Structure 1
Amino acid sequence: MRTPDSITAEAILPLVGGPANVVSVAHCMTRLRLGLRDRSLVQEAALRALPAVLGVVADDATYQIVLGPGTVARVTPEFEALLTAAPAGAPGLLAGAPAGPPADSTAGRLAARGAELRADRRRRNSTPVRIMLRRIADIFVPLIPALIGCGVVAGLNGLLINLGWLPGITPALTAIASGFMALIPVFVGYNTAKEFGGTPVLGGAVAAIVVYAGVAKVTVSGTALSPGQGGVLGALAAALLGTYVEKWIRGRVPDALDVLVTPTLTVLITGLVTLYGLMYAAGELAAAIGTAANWLLDHTGALAGLVLGGLFLPLVMLGLHQALIPIHTTLIEQQGYTVLLPILAMAGAGQVGAALAVYVRLRHDTSLRTTIRSALPAGLLGVGEPLIYGVSLPLGRPFVTACAGGAAGGAFVGFFSMLGDKVGSTAIGPSGWALFPLLNGSRGPVLAAAVYAGGLLTGYVVGFVATYFYGLAGLSVARARVEP
């Protein structure tokens, strides 16, 4: 029986070049990530025109189709089933597939301009540092669904504890919410080895040392180690070292002894280095990250929020936001929530405000208004790519004014942090309105939600006003003449 999700998968496959053009399939929270043999076979305009597609993002490694939370998890297995069933060289375009906006319409021109900007970004992103950041992101992105699920349970549990409700059930909820977080270094180690070409289970094995309770009996320079010391950073370093040790040993051991010698020496050598070096170093680094984040928001909260909220959209464009994923995870391990994510989420609020201003100001531009109407719900839920690549970035100035809205929202949240009202997220992944169930803070989830809502409203208003009065200067008349 065909479902809406299977129909979406059937529509996407020919538009990315058919089964023969698909090398790999994966998904994160919002995007279907495809490895393609030949990207010139992608019919991007038609792909964007599909009702379920919120946008596309192409980086050096994968071609990413934004479908949104939930939808992508249902469409991916349907897509994989089509690849399994379809013969190689299947046709490339379904009959009746939408052809996308006309090239001479405003939406068509903006789509073309967005494609040029993405191509230029891909060229600039092909640096060793950015490639490494993307690989680090690929380690942590698969963990996000569990982080979200456990984060929501933790938030619910905290609310019940604060209200004094259901005292008999809260210990069970604590165990459910905390189990994954207690073992997250193991999953990080597994994914690290997998990403860098090692044996995943060996990566998990050396990372498990970090959380093993028995490390408390190990002393380094006269000081006993603590279980979990170094957290995900220690696990990342241990698994990365283990991968290189494994490869080095495997290249020097006879094949007949490989199955015995390689894993033994990999675990032994890496384990000793982890215990007597990496755990301590990673623990100091993790502590410094937590201290720096708290000091920054306690003493320069408004300014820090202004800078972080204002620069996050450009960071996303450059791919540098991926460097924040281990930092978010470290803060969640230490404090139970990351204080950075709610501030960074304000960038999406500025983007929504800017898009609304474009919609109101360019009221005669029907194609652009249609694009905004279709992308706005996703933007409110924190999926900003359709608005970025379809509206603000191609127009130019609205992207800058969207950043101004994000800066204002970030300053609002940062100001309350200076007053002692820290706002944090118990998980990473969602943004916009979707972040509310994950909010917590120094004075509880209710006040955290109120401050976050105030930041969103500030971002919406400033993004709208800045775009309406400055971001569209010289554009309104020209755009109105395009489509009377």
Structure 2
Amino acid sequence: MTASPQTIAHQVLAHLGGAGNVASVENCITRLRLPVADQDLVDTAGLKAVDGVLGVVEDQTMQVILGPGLVDEVADAIERTLASGADSAPATHASGTDSAPATGASGADAAGTGGADTADRLQQRGADMKAAQKQRNRTPVKAFLRRVANIFLPLIPALIACGIIAGFNGLLTNLVQNGTWTWAAGLTPILTAIASGFMSLIAVFVGMNAAKEFGGTPIIGGAVAAIIPFAGVADVTIFGTELAPGQGGVIGALLAAVLAAYVERWARTWAPRSLSMLIVPTFTVLVVGVLTLFPLMTVAGWIAEGIGVLANQLLQVGGGIAGFVLAGLFLPLVMFGLHQALIPIHATLIEQAGFTVLLPILAMAGGGQVGAAVAVFLKVKDASMRRTIKSALPAGVLGVGEPLIYGVTLPLGRPFITACVGGAFGGAFIGVFNQLGTTVGSTAIGPSGWALFPLTTGNEGIGAAVAIYGFGLLVAYVAGFLATYFFGFSKQALAELNDPHTDAAIADSQQGAAQ
């Protein structure tokens, strides 16, 4: 049985160097995001070994993967601890000392470097790969992309909720229109209002989060972003061109709020302290408000329109080839941190069409990963590796792929490539249907795997979209399994993995862990 949320929260804080080392806590659907002051105090191996933790992504903002539901309860417990000022003692395995790699399956420490089993040391190899990748990810571009992701991630729960309600309302509307459930005719307008209210004001929430992320006042960022959906902008004419409410969407809101943060910070440098409360917000909203009306809304409108046209044309023309490439490259994009650039693109497509056609295709990468893990389970007889796969596989099926990536396929090497191949075939399957005129999309950002089913929709209705997405997952599972089972291991590598007395396959990573 998984430990209680309070126990997990206490242990997570302890392995992060204590509550005093954690600045704040935020969470999305599956993971905690905890900025830490001193990275050297973090005990990553101990953090992975906490009961209930499915995976850890190392960065200045540590990401702890717990899965749906549990993550909310643990986040609440951590927030209460941080608010109370109570501290959690740092983990006994302090940074700078050697610690045994976590099993990931049972949460027990390995018996020692010489006695650690194959799965433990492969997981250590995965941890070493992540650490090396983290160093490569510390570039200005990737840091900016992480900040953009931080703007949109807090919005995901509302996007999911409204997306599911919108999907159910669409199904209900069809039943009303064909005469099956005429009694529900009065219910659909209610559900429409509930599902659409958030989306009509999403620019405001993006503006508030963007201002906060870039050092401004959230409410001022929301104030300038609120100009974009305001119906009265239809009365504004710029050089003979009329603006339209919502023009530029979340892209415009993002640009306006970031500009507002910089203008606000500049205004505070020269405004008299006694009058700053009046001068700074007024000056910021007035100046950035004018710039939002022109040129930001116009330019952002061009960008948003270009994103929509490019995404649709890519799949309508490229079809299976485009789907193959997009899904096949998604796991490497995640490794390099470049997938964060897709978040505002997804949000723009959802704002324009009600769904993003890219997410179901990219979700096939997780399907290939699941198929590859099943093949590894059958090919590798090591008991601890099989336990690791069994513990991580349910999360992978639901769309949480990090435990399988960093605990199984990536350390093994070739199975990571065959997992990408499996995802590519699933993406090609969905891409072909897009080319034939049946689009498959997601009404929200975030979930993949089976968790995406309630959010799936398309131009031919929910039924067709769900069926195509489901068959696409099946293709990805089968292709990932077959590619890994037949091509995922050399004979020598497989013999070494299945020989409990042979350490050659993992000697390098073991030596690195011992040092």
TM-score by length of 1: 0.96
2:120 is matched with which residue: 93, 96, 108?
108
Distance 1:41 1:189 in 2: 34
Distance in 2 of aligned mates of 1:445 and 1:171? 19
Aligned to 2:511: none
| Equivalent residues in 2 for 1:288-303, closer than 5 Å | 288-303=306-321
Tell whether 2:211 aligns with 1:211.
no
Of 238, 244, 248, which aligns to 1:230? 248
| CA deviation string 1:192-224 (max 9, x = no partner) | 000000111000000000010000000122121
Q: From 433, 454, 457, give the equivalent of 1:416.
A: 433
The match for 1:51 is: 51
Residues 245 and 10 of structure 1: CA distance in aligned 2, closer, same or farther (over 3 Å):
closer
Percent identity of paired positions between Structure 1 and Structure 2: 59
CA apart distance, 1:472 = 1.5
| Partner Cα separation in structure 2 for residue 464 and residue 211 of structure 1 | 47
SS of 1:65's equivalent?
A: strand
Partner Cα distance (1:303, 1:182) in 2: 35
In the TM superposition, what whole-angstrom CA distance separates every residue of 1:175-198 from its partner, at most 9, and x where no partner exists? 000000000000000000000001
Post-superposition offset of 1:342: 0.1
Where structure 1 has 5 or more consecutive residues not aligned to the other structure, the ranges are: none
2:484 is the alignment partner of 1:467 = yes
Q: Which amino acid aligns with 2:11?
A: A
Equivalences for residues 428-439 of structure 1 within 5 A = 428-439=445-456
Which residue pairs with 1:354 in the alignment?
Answer: 372
2-structure distance, mates of 1:266, 1:18: 39
**CA distance change for structure 1 residues 85 and 198 in 2, over 3 Å: closer, same or farther?**
closer
Indicate if the aligned counterparts of 2:14 and 2:88 stay in contact, CA closer than 8 A: no
User: Size of the alignment, in residue pairs?
Assistant: 479
Gaps of 5+ in 2: 94-105, 503-515
Contact 2:81/2:87 (<8 A) preserved: no
CA distance in 2, matches of 1:87, 1:246: 34
Residue 209 of structure 1: SS of its match in structure 2?
Answer: coil
- Asked if 1:323 is matched to 2:323, the reply is no
RMSD: 1.8
- 2:440 is matched by which residue type in structure 1? V
Q: Is 1:10 aligned to residue 6 of structure 2?
A: no
What displacement does 1:26 show?
A: 1.9
2:495 counterpart (460, 474, 477): 477
Asked whether the equivalents of residues 53 and 65 of structure 2 are also in contact (C-alpha less than 8 Å), the reply is yes
TM-score, normalization by structure 2:
0.90
Aligned counterpart, 2:70: 71
1:185 and 1:442 map into 2 onto residues whose CA distance is 25
Structure-2 separation of matches of 1:16 and 1:53: 13
Name the aligned partner's letter for residue 197 of structure 2.
Answer: G
Query: Which whole-Å deviations, capped at 9, do the CAs of 1:435-473 have from their partners, x for residues lacking one?
Result: 000000010011000000111001001101111111122
- Report the 3-state secondary structure (helix = DSSP H, G, I; strand = E; otherwise coil) of the residue aligned with 2:17: coil
Number of the residue aligned with 1:124: 136
CA distance in 1, matches of 2:84, 2:221: 34
SS at match of 2:57: strand
Shift of 1:483: 6.2
CA distance in 2, matches of 1:266, 1:79: 35
Alignment of 1:163 with 2:175, yes or no, is: yes
- For residues 10 and 88 of structure 1, the distance between their equivalents in structure 2, rounded to whole angstroms, comes to 9
**C-alpha distance in structure 1 between counterparts of 2:260 and 2:86, whole Å:** 40
> Residue 25 in 1 paired to residue 14 in 2?
no
| Stretch of structure 1 that moved more, 260-269 or 41-50 | 41-50
1:49–1:101 contact (8 Å) kept in structure 2: no
How far 1:381 moved relative to its partner? 0.3
Paired AA for residue 429 in structure 1 = G
SS in 2 for 1:37: coil
Checking the alignment, whether the CA contact within 8 Å between 1:47 and 1:100 is kept in structure 2 is no
Alignment equivalent of 1:246, drawn from 239, 260, 264: 264
2:257 aligned with 1:258, yes or no? no
Q: For the residues of structure 1 that align with 2:431 and 2:330, how far apart are their CA atoms?
A: 15
> Aligned-pair distance for 1:248?
1.6
Give yes or no for contact 2:26–2:154 (8 Å, CA) kept in 1: no
Of 191, 199, 202, the match for 1:184: 202
State which drifts further: 451-460 or 42-51.
42-51
The answer to whether the 8 A contact 2:24-2:79 is kept is no
1:229 aligned counterpart, secondary structure: coil
Q: Flag as ranges the 4+ runs of structure 1 deviating above 6 A.
A: none
Partner of 2:164: 152
Residue pair 2:51, 2:107 contacting (<8 A) in 1 also:
no
Query: Which whole-Å deviations, capped at 9, do the CAs of 1:90-122 have from their partners, x for residues lacking one?
Result: 35359xx95434442112211211111111111
Match of 2:416 in 1: 399
Distance in 2 (alpha carbons) for counterparts of 1:170 and 1:343: 30
Distance in 1 (alpha carbons) for counterparts of 2:117 and 2:403: 18
Q: 1:345 aligns with which of 351, 363, 366?
A: 363
After TM superposition, the structure 1 stretch with the greater mean CA deviation from structure 2, 154-163 or 39-48, is 39-48
Cα offset, 1:5, TM superposition: 1.5
